Structure 1
C-alpha cells in the first residue's frame, strides 16, 4: 500500500476536498483529506488518467502511414505508439483501426503500457474506407459473421465504417457504405455479444443511419456533403435525446495547415461542434492518433483546444470528456475515469489547476498506471 498526495484532486466530475489517494494492489482503496508519509507531488492536480476513444496504433503518424502497414516491425511500432500515449498521460486507448488483431495481442502482452481496448479491424465494405486493414464484409450475414469473429478474438468494441473516409481513394465521406439493414445487423450482433458499437460517420445520412440502428457512439459527426458541410439541426436534437456519444476528432500539433479539401470547411466544422455542445450531445474526445504527422500518438491532451474554442466547452467539461464520459462510452466506467475507491489507480498529475486552464494537460508532472509511476 502507498499514498499519493496532491494539492488538488479532480475526481472525474469535479474538484473534491480530498488531497490524498490510497493505492493498494493497483486499485484506489480510499481518499483522505490529507496524509503523512505520502508521495507528495506538490502544487499539482491529480486526475484520472486520460482516455482516448479513437486511436490507430498501427499507423505511425508519418507522411504515408498506410504504406508502412506491410513493413516488418509493425507490432514493435505499435508497442512504441502505446508508450507515447502513456507518457502523455493517456492511460487507456480505444484502438479503432487494428490490423491482424495485433492491438489485441499487444493488450495482452504489454501489461506495463496503457490499457488497450481494441475493436479489431473496422468493418468496411469491399474496397471501402480502410479496406487495407482487413475488415471487408458485405451482406447482413457477412457482417454478423465479422462481428462474431471479433468478439471471439477478444475485441472490446465493434467499429463500422458507415461512410467512406478521406484517406482511402475511391471511398467518399459523404456517402453511405452499407444499407440500413446491414448497419442494423452490425449493431444487433454487437449487442448480442455484449459489445458497444461505434460508427465512422461523416455524412448526415451516415450519422442518422448509425443513430437509427442503435449504435452506442458515432465517430467524427462532421455532417460532410460532397463539397461542404451541412448541419442537420433535427438530427442533432435527436442525438442529444438519445444519449449516444459523439466522439469528436480533436487534437492537432500547433501549426497545422489543413489540406485543400478540408480548409474551406473548417469554420463550418467548428460550428458543428458548437451546435452539438449547445444541444447537449454527450461529447467525448477521440484523437485519431497516427493518421499523419500532425496527429502523433499521445496528442489527446491538445484536444481540449478544439473543444473549448470550437464547441464552447469549459475546461471542466473537457476533463470530463477525457475521463468519466469517455469511460462510460467505452464501457469501462466501473473501473476507469474516476478517482474513487475500487477504481484502477490510473492517474495523471498536472501542474496547476486544469479546471481553469485545459492547456495544462499538455504538461504531465507524473503518470501512474495501476498505481505505479511510469513518468
Structure 2
C-alpha cells in the first residue's frame, strides 16, 4: 500500500484541489483531503488513465499499413503499438479490427500495455471495407454466425462495417454495405450474448440505419457524401435524443512531409462544423482516434484528440469526462475503469499543471501507472 498527493485531482467527473490517494493491490483504496503522502506529485494533476475507444493495433501507422499486415512479426508489432498507447497515458484501448483475433491474445502484463478490449476482425461484406482482415459475411444467417464466432472467442465488442471506407480498394465511405435486416440481425445477435455492437458508418444513410438498428456506438459519424460532408440537423437531433454514443474520430499528429489525404483536407472545414453541431446538440460522445491507419495517426494519439475537440469549441471538462468515465461506460468497464474512486483500478495519469486550463499538457505525461505500478516516468522526475 502507498499514498500519493496531488495538487489537483480529476476523478473522471470533476476537478478537486489537494487530495491524497491510497493505492492497495493495484486498486484505489481511499481518497482523502490534504495530508502527508509517500509520494508528493507537487504542482501536478492526477487523472484516470485515458481510454481510446477505437484503435487498430494491427496497423503500423505507416503509409501502407494494409500491406504490412502480411509481415511475420505482426503480433510483435501489435505489442509495441500497445506499449505506445500506455506510454501516452492511455491505459485502456478498444481494438475495433485486427487479423486472426490477435488483439485478444497478445499476452501483455499490466506493466507492458493497456487493457485491450477487442472485436476481432470486423464483420464486412465479401470484398467490402477491410475484407482482408478476414471478417467477410453476407446475409443475415452469416452475420449471426459471425457474431457467434466472436462471442465464442471472447470478443468484448462486435464491429460491423455499415458503410465502406477509405483503406479498401473498391470501397467508398458514402456507400452502404448492409441492409436494415442484416444490421438488425447483427445487433440482435450481439445483444443476445450481452455484447455491445459498434457501427462503422460515414454517410448520413449509414448513420441513420445504424441508429435505427440499435447499435451501441457509431464510429466516425462524419456525414460524408460522395463529394463532401452534409450534416443533417434532424438526424443529429435524433442522435442526441437516443442512447447511442458517437465515437468521434479525433486527433492527428503532424508529420513533416506527410499531409492528410486530399479528400480529408477538402472536407476538413465541414468535418469541424459537424463536430461543433453535434456538441451543440448534446450528442453523447467519446473519442476513437483510429490510431494506426496512417503516419498522422500514430498509436497513443488520444491526447491529441482531446486537444482537437477543445480547439473546435468543446469544453475541456466534457472532453476529459469523455476519455475517462464516459468511455469506460461505453466499453462496459465503467465499474472499475475511468474513475479515481475506491474500488477502481489504479490506472492513473500524471500531468503538469491544470489540464482544464491547458489540455495540451495531456500530450506530455509526467508519469503513468497501470494497476498501481509505475510504467512510465518523465526524465525529470
Coarse TM-score class (shorter-chain normalised): over 0.9
Distance verdict in 2 for CA 1:370–1:109, change over 3 Å:
same
Could you tell me which residue of structure 2 aligns to residue 263 of structure 1? 265
Whether 1:338 aligns to 2:343 is no
Relative to the length of structure 1, the TM-score reads 0.97
1 CA distance for matches of 2:271 and 2:300?
Answer: 23
Q: Distance in 2 between matches of 1:77 and 1:221?
A: 29
Which residue is equivalent to 1:321? Answer: 322
- Report the alpha carbon displacement of residue 263 of structure 1 after superposing the two structures with TM: 1.7
In 2, Cα distance between equivalents of 1:37 and 1:364: 21
Alignment of 1:232 with 2:229, yes or no, is no
SS in 1 for 2:221: strand
> Unmatched 5+ residue regions in structure 2?
377-381
The aligned counterpart of 1:156 is: 156
Tell me whether 1:45 sits opposite 2:40 in the alignment.
Answer: no
Structure 1: gaps of 5 or more residues: none
Stretches of 4+ moved more than 3 A in 1?
108-111
Distance in structure 2 (CA, Å) of the matches to 1:339 and 1:236: 32
Q: Residues of 2 paired with 1:109 and 1:80: CA distance?
A: 10
**Quick one: distance in 1 between partners of 2:316 and 2:110?**
31
Q: Could you tell me how far apart the structure 1 residues matched to 2:242 and 2:151 are?
A: 25
State the Cα deviation string for residues 221-261 of structure 1 (Å, max 9, x = none). 10011111111111100100002111010111136632222
What's the secondary structure of 1:16's corresponding residue?
Answer: strand
Q: Is the 8 A contact 1:147 1:190 kept in 2?
A: yes
- Which stretch of the first structure deviates more once superposed, 256-265 or 365-374? 256-265
Q: Does the 8 Å CA contact 2:260/2:296 hold for their aligned counterparts? A: no
Distance between the aligned counterparts of 1:291 and 1:131, measured in 2?
15
Which residue number corresponds to residue 283 of structure 1?
A: 285
Match of 1:351 in 2: 352
Look up the match of 2:14.
14
Name the residue aligned to 1:369. Answer: 370
Q: Secondary structure at the match of 1:224?
A: coil
For this pair of structures, how many residues does the alignment match?
373
Match in the other structure for 1:126:
126
Alignment of 1:29 with 2:18, yes or no, is: no
Structure 1 residue 109: Cα displacement? 4.2
Query: Quick one: distance in 2 between partners of 1:144 and 1:2?
Result: 48
After superposition, what is the alpha-carbon deviation per residue over 1:63-107, rounded to whole angstroms, capped at 9, x for unaligned?
Answer: 11100101111000000000000000000000001110110001x
The reply on whether 1:71 has 2:71 as its aligned counterpart is yes
Partners in 1 of 2:205 and 2:140 — Cα distance? 19
| TM-score, structure 2 as length reference | 0.96
Q: Distance in 1 between matches of 2:68 and 2:243?
A: 38
Instruction: Rate the CA distance shift 1:37–1:338 in 2: closer, same or farther, 3 A.
Output: closer
Q: CA deviation at 1:117?
A: 0.3
Q: Distance in 1 between matches of 2:298 and 2:157?
A: 23
- Worse-superposed segment, 112-121 or 49-58: 112-121
**Aligned counterpart, 1:292:** 294
* Paired residue secondary structure (1:265): helix
CA deviation digits over 1:145-176, x for unaligned, max 9?
Answer: 10111111011101101000011111110011
1:135 partnered with 2:135? yes
* SS of 1:215 mapped into structure 2: coil
In structure 2, the partner of 1:168 is 168
Q: Is the 8 A contact 2:160 2:199 kept in 1?
A: yes
- Once the two structures are TM-superposed, the CA of residue 44 in structure 1 deviates from its matched residue by 0.6
How big is each residue's C-alpha offset from its partner over 1:111-160, in whole Å with a ceiling of 9 and x where there is no partner? 43210000111101101001111111011010011011111101110110
Alpha-carbon distance in 2 for matches of 1:150, 1:62: 28
Deviations 1:165-219 (A, max 9, x none): 0111111100110011000011111110111111110000110111101111100
Alignment of 1:213-232 (within 5 A): 213-232=213-232
In 2, distance between residues paired with 1:48 and 1:37? 19
Deviations 1:335-354 (A, max 9, x none): 11000001100000000000
On the 8 A contact 1:316/1:356 being kept in 2, the answer is no
Please say if 1:62 is aligned against 2:62.
Answer: yes
Specify the SS of the correspondent of 1:160. Answer: strand
Separation in structure 1 between the aligned mates of residue 34 and residue 6 of structure 2, nearest angstrom: 9
CA deviation after TM superposition for structure 1 residue 8, in Å: 0.6
